[in-house]
Amino acid sequence: MKEIPLGAHGRRHLLVTPETAIDFLGDERARVLSTPHMIAYMEWAARDALLPYLDENEDSLGTVVHVRHLAATPVGMSVEFTATVTGVEGRRVTFRVEARDEMELVGEGMHERFVADIPKLVSRLAAKRPR
């Protein structure tokens, strides 16, 4: 793993579609970006921020998500997700995450990821599986 600078950032974009919108409000006109999809795109933006600093056998895993979903984004509107490195402690990296649609801030918070050695992770997972 290379040194990860504070301020490193990643971005993801999403056009809200029926597949990324909640569908349990009972009215098609009320379909909006779901909170689980918002969180997933925040995590992907954070992972994207780390990828340039990782070695070949490394990747990152989400370990903490603390976010607020502030406003609804309807189907058909675009959202930009950003993640900015705010702290690095060994292999733990913290981020400020945000989601903005075409009109306003719709989500914000903190996310933490752990840089993992994939072969070690695979070995640990194998030890946990039933024989």
Looking only at the bridges linking them, the beta strands covering 92-101 and 78-89 are antiparallel
C-beta separation of 101 from 113 below 8 A: no
Q: Which of 20, 37, 58, 69 is catalytic?
A: 69
Q: Which of 13, 17, 28, 35 is catalytic?
A: 35
Q: Which of 43, 58, 98, 112 is catalytic?
A: 43
C-beta separation of 58 from 47 below 8 A: no
User: What six digits make up the tokens of 12?
Assistant: 């993801």
The answer to whether residue 111 is catalytic is no
Q: What H or E segment, with its residue span, contains residue 37?
A: helix 35-50
d(CA 84, CA 59): 17
User: What six digits make up the tokens of 131?
Assistant: 């024989």
Reduced to 3 states (helix: H, G, I; strand: E, B; else coil), residue 27 is: coil
Catalytic annotation, residues: 35, 43, 69
